[in-house]
Chains A and B, each alone.
Chain A
Amino acid sequence: MESGGGARRGRMVIDPKVRQVGFVTPGEQDGPAGVSSSSAQVNAPDSPAPVMIPPAPRVAVPAAADHSPPKPAAPVPIPPRSPPLPPRNFDAEDEMPLGSYNPGGEGVLAGSPNSSYGKASSEKAEIGDLSPTMVAELNSSMMEMSLERSKYELPVPEKENESTADVISERVEVPAINNNEGPENDARQRKLKDRTSKAERRALQESQRAAKEAARASAAVAKAKPPPQKKDGSNEKKGVDKKPVDKSGEKDKKKEVVVPEKDKRKDAPAPRLQFDDEQKVAKARRRAIVEQTTETKHRVELFRHLPQFVPPTQLQALEEKYLQNDTMHIHPAVYQVGLKYLTWDIVGGNARCVAMLEAFKEMIRDYTTPPQKVMSRDLTAKINSHVSFLSTCRPLSISMGNAIRSFKLKIGKLRDTLTEAEAKSSLVSHLETFAQEKIILADKEIVKHAVTKIIDGDVVLTHGFSCVVEMVLSHAHSIGKKFRVVVVDSRPRLEGRILLRSLLAQGLKCTYTHINAVTYIMQEVTKVFLGAASILANGTVYSRVGTAAAAMVAHGYRVPVMICCETYKFHERVQLDSICSNELGDPDALVGVAGRKEFRELVGWDESEHLRLLNLTYDATPADYVSMIITEHGMVPPTSVPVILREYRKEPIL
């Protein structure tokens, strides 16, 4: 048991990210083992896309299996599911997961994930209402899953090895994640912490790392199997390549020591600004580039922590500063983009991201390093101030956040040996490739996948206006599929009309209705295609408000819900509701009714003591309601989002 556990532990450590979210996903309860094993089956060692699930028609919708008889004629191909696993003996396995979660020995600990602990603890708090048995079940199933995986992903390089320091230091704050998984270990851990001084711990850590290093080197040499993912391989190679550069082991060590400090800072992201925290807001305001005088009088209590809507009056104030030469030096291109965000002239995750990248390109082209400054440092600061300008115009979308993160990473990685012109051109090309690969080509790929899901005679429902969904529909039409589209729209933005216009222009048959009729119209719908602003690690779809309602109704009618989303919009965050992170729209947009001037009940609403208007921009659709997420890497169930995050988004995290 001990040795077996050890071996397993060693492998368990390699894929910690699944743990990060897996047991929170509500969908897991249906049978995570099934899903994971199926994905594992496909996950052949040299498969380029480990999460690609071949379409298999005529299988019941997974969620439907529990509550109702499966729809016999469900035309949607859904991921095949392996037969349910035999009931597991929880008692026997009780000690096992401990290896991965709370490794007893420090040696294993060294390979623990870097950022997952903090998150895990917060998740823990969020799922506090789950019964302990459920947690246990989840954990054990998780365990199962990772076991399965580990067969195929053998010696994955421990890329997390730099993060040892923070793991140790964070350890104390982290409660035991598994109640049943060995409190004695934790106690030991704590005791160790109490007993040893900081220096001692550092030394211990150091020695462990050295040991680990050696182990890794040997593993790299004696690697029997090729790495399961190409990216893994390249990463590994990079690591190996880097090594010979600094020849002395001591130097290497020193470097290693320094890194965790940096990493620590990076890994503990500053908590998001809560806008009901007056002190913090005041502080932020002092630092803010743009004077924010927008104290909304009537905030909705539950949403006080969100950045309040930027009213159009801000536009004038901002525009007036356009040509003035003040300290912030926002590049005009970025300025223009910011103003367009503010006026909502540019909307939608992709459009906003592309516009921002274009503006950054302009900025980089016009950039010259000031004398006696390092380009990467100065540019990072500049980008930061530009980004904070953009976020004062409108809160950043998750897509933009991801793009900014990868861009800043690129800046940080610029070698000093490059001349300024070379550095600039490499940055510009980075921005170009990001826009090209992650957005434009990704969209094409999504369209290719999604079109296979539309068959003749379908009635496709969509909500609002998602550019990817539009592309899917128009492409399906252009290749001669016969189907009908139901465009469901919602006030106050009425974006669906844009979609409707373009679909009608192409000659598609359309039905237009508002979201309050969705329960009726859903009866005739066979498929639902929706866009997303982001997909979170627990499979929650974060999208324009109304999406959740549409998806829920579709789920209720056993209509498959397919979400089209590029993977660059995926986010590691976990969110269970639409409250903790959202964006507030213009409350005044709710006041008027187009074409009904006599509706004046809400005019002057802000003078009323008892009235609050809430115009939310996004909502969160639980993973339960989502049958499939269509990404450029293939079609995956929502439970596989962490896999994509882990396998395809290494660079930004590292």
Chain B
Amino acid sequence: MGDEYQVVVVAGGSSKDLFPLVSKDVPKALLPIGNRPLLSYVLDLLEDSNLNNVSVVVAGHESGVRVGSWIAEAYHDRLQVEVSTVSEESGTADALRSVAHRLSSENVLVVSGDMVCDVPLGAIASSHKRQRAGLTALLCPRTPGEGCEASAGGVGTKEKAKQLAAADVIGLDSARHRLLYVASGSQLGKEVKVPLCLMREAGQVELHTDLLDAHLYAFNRELMLEALERNEKFKSIKRDLVPHIVRSQLKHGRVEGTLSCSAYVAGKARYCARVNTIEAYGDINRDVAGDAIYLTGYTVSGMNNVIHPSAQTGAKTAIGPQCIIGEGSELGEKCSVKRSVVGRHCRIGSNVKVINSVVMNHVTLEDGCLVQNSVICSNVYLQERVTLKDCQVGCGYVIGVGAEHRSEALAKKEKMPINYQFLQ
């Protein structure tokens, strides 16, 4: 069944948005979410839907090598994955161009590699085919406030405002779920211009800002390649290619045939998020450790948390619900971990508090540290009584005794060879 669709996963490279979490050594695709590389969520989703023909495009050669070797190890007997690389600067549209020669199926599913979602891809595939669409986009109802509640209150409202400002405007024909208009929030000024021909054609258009474009598209292959070929300037799928196709469906008179664009609006119960900002990274980690734990495939203990059997906890250490403790981590006495994800082989001393945070692998937290609302990357060393609030700490960073940081991004200037353990 899966042969009808080929899949292109645009896995990105070392995105600047996620500095300092992402570097050349930790490409975005391998960023741990709930102690699993980000890309594994997409690949598992593909596997569930029997979509076996997958091309993964990674930006940057080094990242490509890392991603490739990880996939080769983890998926060698499950999926047929080909990894290719494009240069660091190229956009998502370039990534598509680079694998164009490999595409042969009638329809192509283009998935962003930073998606964590449980919408069955079959639904999009089927909806795409049923409506004989040229383009089908997955839209998820935005749940305003949900992400914000998780983070601290004051910041939340600001974030929310920012989110809404950046919201995409999506025009839908509510009856048939046709996609009629797309304008991404970042490009949009204060006003939304809706072309007249659209009103003439569709009669009624509902403009939504409450829908999140999940960056998952089903394309008719010929249509997509033709559009890419004609417009060499296109850099991004989302910003250039999709709006172009949506616009061009109206030019061809009646919106019938394969040229039409449709939208698949996921149900409210579905989880769908993208790791495109630091906040999102923290939120998604918390979601994955909490309500969306089923995405990770871990078995949840009676305490509503996941503690690897090889992890050791000292006396009087409390690990709250909605936490994940990775393999081989050691926690000292009187520690408290709440709503956080702790990676593999971390050493956490006594009297340490980790709240609402993500601690990656091989991190050492000495006694008396307090980590709140922060992300600590691998191989970080926090000496005694360090306090971190709303911070991001890059790989291999060392924070001295008793330091206190608030709302900072801490990262090393120079690169140091680090031994990453993701592959294990």
Contacts and interface: CB of A to CB of B under 8 A. Distances in A.
Q: What's the dominant secondary structure at chain A's contact region?
A: helix
A332 B121 CA distance: 14
Interface stretch (B67-75, B122-130, B363-371): B122-130
Contact of B120 (A323, A332, A343): A323
Interface string B1-31: 1101100000000000000000000000000
B299 to A, nearest CB: 22
B127 A324 contact: no
B235 to A, nearest CB: 31
Interface residues of B, number: 19
B130 A339 contact: yes
Contacts of A213: none
Nearest to B267: A316
B48 interface: yes
B138 to A, nearest CB: 12
A316 B49 CA distance: 15
A335 B50 contact: no
Contact of A320 (B5, B51, B123, B129): B123
B123 A322 contact: yes
A372 interface: no
Contacts of A340: 130
B130 A323 contact: no
Interface string B90-131: 000000000000000000000000000001111101110110
A324 to B, nearest CB: 6
B129 A336 contact: yes
A343 B130 contact: yes
Contacts of A335: 126
B126 A319 contact: yes
Contacts of B130: 319, 336, 339-340, 343, 345
Nearest to B3: A332
Contacts of A336: 126, 129-130
A319 B127 contact: yes
Contacts of B2: 323
A332 B1 CA distance: 7
Contacts of B48: 324
A346 to B, nearest CB: 10
A323 B121 contact: yes
A332 B50 contact: no
Interface in A330-359: 332, 335-336, 339-340, 343, 345
A299 to B, nearest CB: 26
Given A324-B48, A324-B50, A345-B130, A332 B4 contact: yes
A327 interface: no
Interface in A279-305: none
Interface string B24-61: 00000000000000000000000011110000000000
A546 B50 CA distance: 46
Interface string B309-343: 00000000000000000000000000000000000
Contacts of A345: 130
Q: What's the dominant secondary structure at chain B's contact region?
A: helix
A253 interface: no
Interface in A308-323: 316, 318-323
B50 A325 contact: yes
A493 to B, nearest CB: 14
Given A332-B1, A336-B129, A339-B130, A323 B267 contact: no
Given A336-B130, A340-B130, A343-B130, A322 B125 contact: yes
Given A332-B1, A332-B4, A323 B127 contact: no
Contacts of A343: 130
Contacts of A332: 1, 4, 129
Contacts of A316: 123, 267
A321 B120 contact: yes
Nearest to B270: A320
A335 B50 CA distance: 16
A324 B129 CA distance: 15
B140 to A, nearest CB: 13
Contacts of A320: 119-120, 122-123
B125 A323 contact: yes
A322 B119 CA distance: 12
Contacts of B129: 332, 336
A324 B267 contact: no
Tell which of A322, A340, A345 has the most Cβ of chain B within 10 Å.
A322
Contacts of B126: 318-319, 322-323, 335-336, 339
Contacts of B125: 322-323
A532 to B, nearest CB: 28
A319 B125 CA distance: 8
A251 B76 CA distance: 59
A443 B127 CA distance: 32
B183 to A, nearest CB: 27
Contacts of A323: 1-2, 5, 49-51, 120-122, 125-126
B121 to A, nearest CB: 6
Nearest to B49: A323
Contacts of A339: 126, 130
B73 to A, nearest CB: 24
Contacts of B51: 323
A340 B126 CA distance: 11
B120 A324 contact: yes
Contacts of B5: 323
A109 B119 CA distance: 64
B122 A321 contact: yes
Nearest to A325: B50
B354 to A, nearest CB: 37
Interface in B239-269: 267
A116 to B, nearest CB: 43
B122 A322 contact: yes
A335 B127 CA distance: 11
Tell which of B49, B51, B126 has the most Cβ of chain A within 10 Å.
B126
A336 B1 CA distance: 12
B175 to A, nearest CB: 10
A343 B175 CA distance: 11
A77 B89 CA distance: 80
Interface in B356-409: none
A86 B298 CA distance: 89
B294 to A, nearest CB: 15
A464 B119 CA distance: 39
A321 B124 CA distance: 10
Interface in B161-207: none
B141 to A, nearest CB: 13
Contacts of B121: 323
A336 B127 CA distance: 9
B118 to A, nearest CB: 10
A245 B51 CA distance: 52
Contacts of A325: 1, 50
A316 B1 CA distance: 19
Contacts of A321: 120, 122
A7 B51 CA distance: 71
Nearest to B176: A343
Nearest to A342: B130
Tell which of B4, B5, B48, B49 has the most Cβ of chain A within 10 Å.
B49
A337 to B, nearest CB: 9
Nearest to B46: A323
Nearest to B124: A319
Given A322-B123, A323-B49, A336-B129, 4 more contacts: A321-B120, A322-B126, A335-B126, A336-B130
The 6 closest A-B pairs by CB, nearest first: A323-B122, A322-B122, A322-B126, A323-B49, A320-B120, A319-B123
Interface of A: 316, 318-325, 332, 335-336, 339-340, 343, 345
Interface of B: 1-2, 4-5, 48-51, 119-123, 125-127, 129-130, 267
22 contacts: A318-B126, A319-B120, A319-B122, A319-B127, A320-B122, A322-B122, A322-B125, A322-B126, A323-B1, A323-B2, A323-B5, A323-B51, A323-B121, A323-B122, A323-B125, A324-B49, A324-B50, A325-B1, A325-B50, A332-B129, A335-B126, A336-B130
